[in-house]
Structures are given as C-alpha cells and as structure tokens.
C-alpha cells in the first residue's frame, strides 16, 4: 500500500520532497510525473516547459491528488514557487499572471509583452543552468525583495533588508542582508532564476507565507 505522505512538495531549489507541512499554493509541470497506481513519483521531474503556480481553490473544482491526471505540486508560498522556476497560472490567477508577465517583460527589455510560451522558454533554460550564479557582496545588497539565495546549505529569502531562513513550515528571521554580504569567504548562490529576479526588480509583488510578516 502506498504511504499517505505523498512526494509532492517543491523546495525553493526545485527538488520535490514528501512532508506533512501545508503550503499556500499548488501547481504543476505540465503533466503526470507519478505512477497513479502507487501515487509515487517516477524518474522525470517535468513533462513540459510550462511550470505554473496556482491557487488552492478555483471555481469549486476538486481533484484526487496524484490520481490519473497531472501531478499536483505544492509550495510554501509564491516566493518559494518563483525560486523553483514556477510562474503564476494565466487561468486561475489571471491578474497575478498579467502583472508578472508585464514585470517579466520589462526585465527582459522586451519591446512588447512576452507571451506565456516565450516566458516559459526563458525560465526553462535558467532552471537547467548549472552551476547557479555566485554573487559578490554588491550584487547581494542590490537584490530585490522576494529573491532567494543559498548560503551554507541554507536557503534564505530576502525581505525588508533582512534574510529569512526558509523551512518546510515557514520562515525564521536570520540576519541583515548587509551582514550576509560582508561575511568573508561566504559563497552565496542565486536560487531564484535571474529573469524572475528582474521581474521582482520591476515591481512584481509575490505572496509571502505569514511567518515572514
């Protein structure tokens, strides 16, 4: 019999784990990643370049999680979803998606708003890029709120001049951004895709988990 604890929670770094903690959003990566008979993940982690972040409730629709359809994935909050390379859904979160698309296009210096397929193509290339970019102190201090970085194996979210340590249950206030930027020998990697960082810099406001209030 399959375990009741399903592997469907997305980390900021994009990996998918099993946890009993609840999230504020769900989404998908284009199709089914699991075996519906066992409700366990298969080897692949996406079926298309369209990785989206959806609201938990929309028009009364109900689904069996990890049933015969696509694989439902869950996120602590939108900041987490963005860091892992997911974007707002144009169906259930249309206004948010339009705001994201406008900011994303501005960040790419596009002459006209980019279509969803073009956004997904850019994001997919960045999701696959390795190693992640390493940041120097001036770059760290210039990052917009909502960006996530990795330092000493801890994912940190940046907000209001401070870093917030991410966990499956929420955030914990860690240290001022300026302090992170001046730690000698620190290796700080950018987790949030660069194009999404640019969208945050151009005004997109993601939804945070209440623990980062």
pLDDT score, position 61: 78
Residue of 182, 178, 177 whose CA lies nearest to 164 = 177
**Average pLDDT value over all residues in the chain:** 95
pLDDT score, position 4: 78
CA-to-CA separations, 201 to 132, 145, 198, in angstroms, rounded:
19, 8, 5
pTM for the complete prediction?
Answer: 0.95
Decide if pLDDT at 184 tops 70: no
pLDDT band at 1 (very low <50, low <70, confident <90, very high): very low
Residue 72: Cβ within 10 Å count: 18
The answer to whether 108 touches 54, Cβ cutoff 8 Å, is no
The single residue listed with the structure tokens 């990643």 is 33
């Amino acid at each position: 019999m399959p375990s009741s604890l399903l592997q469907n929670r997305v980390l900021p770094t994009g990996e998918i784990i099993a946890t009993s903690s609840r999230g504020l959003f769900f989404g998908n990566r284009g199709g089914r990643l699991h075996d519906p008979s066992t409700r366990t993940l298969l080897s692949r982690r996406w079926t298309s370049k369209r990785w989206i972040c959806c609201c938990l409730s929309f028009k009364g629709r109900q689904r069996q999680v990890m049933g015969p359809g696509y694989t439902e994935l869950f996120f602590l909050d939108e900041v987490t979803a963005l860091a892992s390379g997911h974007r707002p859904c144009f169906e259930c979160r249309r206004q948010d998606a339009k705001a994201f698309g406008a900011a994303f296009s501005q960040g790419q210096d596009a002459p006209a708003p980019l279509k969803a397929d073009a956004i997904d193509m850019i994001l997919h290339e960045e999701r696959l890029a390795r190693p992640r970019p390493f940041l120097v102190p001036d770059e760290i201090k210039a990052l917009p709120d909502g960006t996530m970085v990795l330092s000493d194996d801890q994912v940190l979210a940046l907000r209001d001049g401070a870093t917030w340590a991410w966990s499956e249950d929420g955030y914990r206030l860690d240290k001022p951004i300026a302090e992170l930027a001046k730690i000698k020998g620190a290796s700080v990697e950018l987790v949030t895709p660069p194009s999404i960082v640019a969208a945050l810099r151009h005004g997109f406001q993601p939804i945070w988990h209440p623990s980062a209030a």
